[in-house]
Structure 1
Amino acid sequence: MESQFETVKPAESELLIITGMSGAGRTTVAHALEDHGWYVVENLPPQMLRRLTELETPATAILNKLAVVMDVRSSTFNPLLSEALADLTAAGVSYRVLFVDADDAALVRRFEQGRRPHPLQGEGRILDGLHAERALLTELRDRAEIVIDTTNQNVHTLSTEITQLFSENGPIVLRLNVMSFGFKYGLPADANYVADVRFIPNPHWVPELRPQTGKDDSVQKFVFAADGAEEFISAYLEALKPVLEGYRRENKHYATIAIGCTGGKHRSVAVTEELARRLAQLPSVTVNVSHRDLGRE
């Protein structure tokens, strides 16, 4: 029987729209894509987007992998881009949106280090510009296929993530980032799905387990021996299968699954490791594991 996760060949022409918060890493993404053979156009006005795609013909193979970087320059950005995307859809042009984001503190720090103003701050503060930009980009972020949170990344780790996302022949069919985190440090900004495993007894209260982590065998045995732990992982995996199949049908290639406990040290780490191991056994699925808050305490 043919696998429900059978590999989908990339389209002959790929159009990727790169946008997101100023200072979050759009230029780094663009440079990484150029290294992988993409033709990148930066700071394209929304009105020019449809015209650019009209150049995609067999005679212009250089545009078969086209990435367009678009940023906020004025309050007219949002309606103009919405119109441009609607024109693409009406013309039957397929595209994907990659949105780079970071928390306000990280973005303010980057602007201050670069000694430059935010394009929308006017006479106000950098933070005022960021708030205005977030308001403009909310709808676009919600419709983005790929959201990358660069709060804790540098140019090297972001470039590596883009390399993992895009192969020589186009986007990887389905790449999952399975992440553990601690609720006390806040929800991950780029999570598509969040699961709470605080129903499992906390190894923190077992003296011999407290200094260990969810990567250690003794902690894993404790976690998976708890009532409901194995049932949760098995049921959650089964619940994700139709979601992954839906992603394949909709030509979506990336998702982040976040597993949270109180501090992100024991339960969420153990469950993340096991869930990732099982997901990696599915055909045409690439899994990356990360532990956001491990080591923070």
Structure 2
Amino acid sequence: MNVNEHDGRTEQGRTEQAGDGAQVSTGTPNDKATVPDAAIPELVIISGMSGAGRSTAAKCLEDLGWFVVDNLPPALIPTMVELGARSQGNVARIAVVVDVRGRRFFDNLRESLADLEAKNVTRRIVFLESSDEALVRRFESVRRPHPLQGDGRIVDGIDAERELLRELRGDADLVIDTSSLNVHELRAKMDAQFAGEEEPELRATVMSFGYKYGLPVDADLVVDCRFLPNPHWVPELRPYTGLNEEVSGYVFNQPGAKEFLDRYTELLQLVATGYRREGKRYVTIAVGCTGGKHRSVAMSEKLAARLAAEGVETVVVHRDMGRE
């Protein structure tokens, strides 16, 4: 059987048996004509020196909505692009991390790139590099060997990797030297290249909780609503939660409740701008009261609505609302 080396398909095409008994046709090398050019995903290949920030760059693209595949053998890149093209627009942008962990397949990269060019795939190569001094310092700080050093020193592995990646660096569309960059600065550079004119999206989780059950361990910001009178001591409100209109009305009719919501919303707008600037994509805001049933629930709902109105993708979680 003659197999096309670029994408692992037979030159005549074949039909495979899927796990549910259905037959799935893998197509032929000429079946690209059946896939509209508009459906072909945009592709970014991330490569470069170990320790130079490939994982950070990949995570940044993932946060921007790219479908990211780490350590994919280069020979499978055209196949991944084909699968994306058949996803009916669900996978419009693919980022693939290629590094020396896949060095057995690295010789196939140039052939894969030629195959992609023949299929009119828009692709960019991002190459991360750093000085020998910076790379040695990073490997020593995490106390891990370089993937290519073998029985030698870290610098021996770095030299071997530079030689292996020399041609790929010459083909790169974007080279980023991370020698003097921190994580936030690298993310900013990736945002500048791939976020377009849109401001990076921020996602917020607003979580109500009860102090008597402990602080949420994943909270970035904590709001204390215990300065407001507790509906628990109002007999007709005690059985209900902050989701009830009467309970919510009671909470926000208390002195300072509406003012607190207004001022804290303004503060979060300022914080959100800073988070976006620093490359932070997710924030958890914990809103607490004594039991996590009345005041914190009502405040969380209102606060989440305010954030959503400001364009922040927001999820509300009531951690302790169902507890006795």
Q: Aligned partner of 1:37: which letter? A: G
Alpha-carbon contact 1:111-1:118 (below 8 Å) kept: yes
Of residues 16, 24, 27 in structure 1, which corresponds to 2:55? Answer: 27
Of residues 147, 153, 177 in structure 2, which corresponds to 1:119? Answer: 147
Alpha-carbon contact 1:74-1:120 (below 8 Å) kept: no
Q: Note closer, same or farther for the CA distance 1:110–1:60 as it changes in structure 2 (3 Å cut).
A: farther
**CA distance in structure 1 between the aligned counterparts of 2:102 and 2:63, rounded to whole angstroms:** 30
TM-score w.r.t. length of structure 2: 0.47
Q: Does 1:141 align with 2:177?
A: no
Of residues 48, 57, 82 in structure 1, which corresponds to 2:85? Answer: 57
Q: Please state whether the residue corresponding to 1:120 is helix, strand or coil.
A: coil
Q: Does 1:164 align with 2:172?
A: no
Aligned to 1:89: 117
What's the RMSD between the two structures over aligned residues?
A: 2.2
Q: Aligned partner of 2:167: which letter? A: E
Q: Does 1:108 align with 2:121?
A: no
**CA distance in structure 1 between the aligned counterparts of 2:55 and 2:181, rounded to whole angstroms:** 14
Aligned length: 161
Deviation of 1:138 after TM superposition, in Å, equals: 0.7
Alpha-carbon contact 2:130-2:179 (below 8 Å) kept: yes
Alignment identity in percent?
52
Q: Does 1:150 align with 2:198?
A: no
1:9-68 deviation line (CA, Å, top 9, x unaligned): x99731000000000000000111111111111110112111101112263423211111
Alpha-carbon contact 1:30-1:67 (below 8 Å) kept: yes
Q: Aligned partner of 1:86: which letter? A: A
Pair member with larger Rg: 2
Alpha-carbon contact 2:47-2:125 (below 8 Å) kept: yes
Aligned to 2:322: none
Q: Aligned partner of 2:118: which letter? A: A
Q: Please state whether the residue corresponding to 2:149 is helix, strand or coil.
A: coil
**5+ residue gaps in structure 2?**
1-37, 199-324
Alpha-carbon contact 2:49-2:130 (below 8 Å) kept: yes
Of stretches 69-78 and 135-144 in structure 1, the one that deviates more from structure 2 is 69-78
Aligned to 1:6: none
Alpha-carbon contact 2:73-2:102 (below 8 Å) kept: no
- Which structure's relative contact order is higher, taking Cα pairs within 8 Å and 6+ residues apart? 1
Of stretches 87-96 and 155-164 in structure 1, the one that deviates more from structure 2 is 87-96
**CA distance in structure 2 between the aligned counterparts of 1:77 and 1:28, rounded to whole angstroms:** 23
**CA distance in structure 2 between the aligned counterparts of 1:58 and 1:169, rounded to whole angstroms:** 28
Q: Note closer, same or farther for the CA distance 1:78–1:58 as it changes in structure 2 (3 Å cut).
A: closer
Of residues 37, 41, 46 in structure 2, which corresponds to 1:18? Answer: 46
Alpha-carbon contact 1:13-1:63 (below 8 Å) kept: yes
Q: Please state whether the residue corresponding to 2:90 is helix, strand or coil.
A: helix
**5+ residue gaps in structure 1?**
1-9, 171-297
**CA distance in structure 2 between the aligned counterparts of 1:50 and 1:169, rounded to whole angstroms:** 29
**CA distance in structure 2 between the aligned counterparts of 1:132 and 1:31, rounded to whole angstroms:** 26
Alpha-carbon contact 1:121-1:127 (below 8 Å) kept: yes
Q: Please state whether the residue corresponding to 2:44 is helix, strand or coil.
A: strand
Deviation of 1:88 after TM superposition, in Å, equals: 1.5
